[in-house]
């Protein structure tokens, strides 16, 4: 495990060099999208249309913020559960999306697409939205304003803390880390 | 003696309670988090628990919600049977309180009007309201905004009576194991055993509003709470699901009589942002 500082949009070689368990601080420009925005993007792609953002090389943060108070760029801004986006993710990775920040497990199809495209899946700490909001210096809605919190936003982030969970070799921190501290064997029902 | 209470007073309290619940955790949760940080074996786990404490401090000082998912508002009302409510329908007042709390309090609006058409109501209404008529002439209000990262990982098991205690324990462990990192551990695990399909779910939800560290007054259930907490923490999931010895802060179990043919078990999982504010008016 190593602490690393990385810039986004992320360089392909940097993405490939990250390993599950690395603790990273992310600086640069990222985009937010969650359930409703993914559904719309998927509908566009099905009709061979053009996405509202050029996703190539970009990082998508699965996040829908609370409203910003006056004078602040954003409200509370922690990650949402990534698996709800699994259905749409392989296609976006194949189109060149380089990285994602979320929380929670991903499907085998997503892991395969991460490996196939040399991408990376980061987890941020769920339920720490106030703390994480301090790493966001600007926020601007760039598409789907009518979706409210689910709109696509462009964020500027500075030293945003995250952990590499799935790397380009298919290593999965959620699987290996829990084993290390496991003392209970349960009988599944 | 009959006492008259205006529903407007209930609305005003609920408005304030929605804002309070989303910015300040009760002291039992804060204490549980501190204790967990002492005992956590993983370095990364301790670091994450430290971030969660820092997050709570920022939330309270700067009035930024603890979590961006400010929840669907679950409201428990215990209304004394000697209370006379005036000034309009009670449920309208509850929803008005939620509306004002979420709009004025800069809380996220996370409710869609129809589960399939999915158009946002833009004021976080309606709330989910559970009303009980009890003895007395007071109104007890519990506001418990519920986030859906953990709600989505909750489960109901309709066990056979023959599965007994072991079956119940396996059900809880299965639900927690499957929830894993998705439910934002460390979690609080609410369990309802007995009753009917809907009764066990409601008991599990109510169990989440019990103070962390307070056990069931049924001695064998208290033992089960302690045993399950130890077993859950032995799953290795850890803070943020990134490995460690703190997967849950508490297991709270409620029970109720049930049918000769059944053993319903509900497991309602809450993340570490286990929000509940109680007022009696």
- The complex's ipTM works out to 0.95
pLDDT at A188: 65
For residues B173-196, average pLDDT: 97
Quick check: A79 pLDDT over 60?
A: yes
pLDDT at A145: 96
Looking at the structure of chain B, the number of domains it has is: 2
Of B68, B181, B232, the CB nearest to A75: B68
pLDDT at A185: 77
Pairwise CA distance, residues B248 & B180, whole Å: 11
Determine, for residues B236 and A178 on separate chains, whether the beta-carbon distance falls below 8 Å.
yes
* Residues of B whose CB is below 8 A from A3: none
Determine, for residues A129 and B42 on separate chains, whether the beta-carbon distance falls below 8 Å.
no
This model's pTM is above 0.90 = yes
Domain encompassing residue B130: 3-21+66-145
**Residue A38 falls in the annotated catalytic set:** yes
Residue A162's DSSP bridge partners are A24
- pLDDT tens digit sequence for B70-117: 999 999 999 999 999 999 999 999 999 999 999 999 999 999 999 999
Quick check: B172 pLDDT over 70?
A: yes
For residue B88, the 8-state DSSP code is: S
pLDDT at A184: 86
Is residue A1 very low, low, confident or very high in pLDDT (cuts 50, 70, 90)? low
DSSP string, chain A: --EEEEEESPPHHHHHH--TT-EEEEEEEEEE--HHHHHHHHHHHHTT---SS--TT-EEE---PPPPPTT-S-S-----BGGGGTTTHHHHHHTT--EEEEBS---HHHHHHHHHHT-EEEE--TT-HHHHHTTEEEEEEEE-GGGGGGSEEEEEEEEEEEEEEE-TT--BHHHHHHHHT--------
Are residues B198 and B235 both part of a single domain?
A: yes
Quick check: B137 pLDDT over 80?
A: yes
Determine, for residues B110 and A23 on separate chains, whether the beta-carbon distance falls below 8 Å.
no
pLDDT at A3: 85
pLDDT at B146: 98
**Residues 233-252, chain B: which have Cβ within 8 Å of A?**
234-238, 240-245
Percent of chain B topping pLDDT 70: 100
Pairwise CA distance, residues B280 & B143, whole Å: 12
What value does the mean pLDDT of chain A take? 96
Q: Per the domain annotation, does B34 fall within a domain?
A: no
Please say which residue of B91, B125, B145 terminates a domain.
B145
pLDDT at A23: 96
For residues A125-148, average pLDDT: 97
Please say which residue of B113, B145, B177 terminates a domain.
B145
- Options 3.40.630.30, 3.90.470.20, 2.30.29.30, 3.20.130.10; CATH of A3-188: 3.20.130.10
Rounded to a whole number of angstroms, the distance from the CA of A68 to the nearest CA of chain B is 7
CATH code of the domain containing B224: 3.30.1330
Partner A contacted by B181 (CB < 8 A): yes
pLDDT at A91: 97
What value does the mean pLDDT of chain B take? 97
- pLDDT tens digit sequence for B235-263: 999 999 999 999 999 999 999 999 999 99
Of all residues in chain A, the one with the smallest CA distance to B119 is A147
Quick check: B220 pLDDT over 60?
A: yes
Determine, for residues B243 and A180 on separate chains, whether the beta-carbon distance falls below 8 Å.
yes
Interface test with B, best of A65, A183, A184, A188 (most B CBs within 10 A): A184
Determine, for residues B181 and A105 on separate chains, whether the beta-carbon distance falls below 8 Å.
yes
Are residues B176 and B213 both part of a single domain?
A: yes
> What count of CB pairs under 8 Å joins A to B?
190
Percent of chain A topping pLDDT 70: 97
Determine, for residues B242 and A134 on separate chains, whether the beta-carbon distance falls below 8 Å.
no
For residues B264-268, average pLDDT: 98
Quick check: A186 pLDDT over 70?
A: no
Are residues B191 and B104 both part of a single domain?
A: no
Quick check: B156 pLDDT over 80?
A: yes
Catalytic residue among A10, A30, A37, A38: A38
**How are strands ordered across the β-sheet holding B139-146?**
B128-134, B72-80, B139-146, B277-280
């Amino acid at each position: 495990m190593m602490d690393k500082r990385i810039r986004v949009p992320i360089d392909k070689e940097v993405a490939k060099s990250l390993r599950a368990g690395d603790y990273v601080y992310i600086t640069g420009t990222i985009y937010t999208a969650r359930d409703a925005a993914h559904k719309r993007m998927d509908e566009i792609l099905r009709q061979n249309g053009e996405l509202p953002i050029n996703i190539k090389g970009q990082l998508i943060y699965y996040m829908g913020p609370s409203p910003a108070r006056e004078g602040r760029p954003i409200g509370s801004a922690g990650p949402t559960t990534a698996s709800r986006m699994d259905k749409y993710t392989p296609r976006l990775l194949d189109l060149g999306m380089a990285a994602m920040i979320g929380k929670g497990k991903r499907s085998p199809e997503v892991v395969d697409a991460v490996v196939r495209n040399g991408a990376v899946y980061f987890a941020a700490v769920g339920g720490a939205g106030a703390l994480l909001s301090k790493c966001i210096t600007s926020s601007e809605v760039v598409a789907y304003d009518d979706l409210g919190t689910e709109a696509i936003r462009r964020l500027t982030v500075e030293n945003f803390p995250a952990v590499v969970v799935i790397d380009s070799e298919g290593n999965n921190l959620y699987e290996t880390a829990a084993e290390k501290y496991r003392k209970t064997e349960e009988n599944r029902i | 003696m009959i006492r008259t209470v205006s529903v407007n007073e209930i609305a005003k309290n609920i408005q304030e309670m929605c804002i309070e619940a989303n910015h300040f955790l009760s002291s039992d949760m804060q204490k549980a988090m501190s204790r967990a940080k002492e005992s956590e074996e993983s370095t990364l786990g301790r670091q994450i628990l430290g971030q969660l404490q820092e997050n709570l401090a920022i939330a309270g000082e700067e009035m930024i919600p603890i979590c961006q998912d400010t929840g669907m508002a679950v409201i428990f009302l215990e209304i004394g049977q000697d209370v006379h409510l005036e000034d309009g329908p009670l449920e309208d007042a509850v929803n008005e309180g939620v509306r004002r709390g979420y709009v004025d309090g800069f809380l996220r609006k996370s409710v869609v009007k129809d589960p399939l058409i999915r158009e946002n109501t833009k004021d976080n209404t309606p709330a989910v309201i559970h009303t009980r008529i009890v003895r007395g002439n007071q109104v007890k209000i519990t506001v418990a905004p519920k986030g859906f990262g953990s709600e989505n990982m909750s489960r109901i098991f309709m066990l056979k009576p023959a599965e007994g205690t072991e079956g119940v324990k396996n059900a809880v462990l299965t639900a927690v194991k499957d929830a894993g990192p998705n439910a934002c551990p460390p979690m609080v695990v609410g369990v309802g055993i007995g009753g009917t399909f809907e009764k066990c779910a409601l008991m599990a939800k109510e169990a989440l509003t019990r103070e962390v560290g307070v056990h069931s007054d049924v001695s064998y259930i208290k033992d089960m709470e302690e045993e399950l907490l130890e077993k859950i923490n032995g799953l290795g999931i850890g803070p943020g699901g990134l490995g460690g010895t703190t997967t849950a802060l508490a297991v709270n179990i409620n029970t109720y009589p049930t049918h000769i043919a059944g053993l319903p078990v509900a497991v309602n999982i809450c993340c570490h942002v286990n929000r509940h504010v109680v007022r009696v008016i």
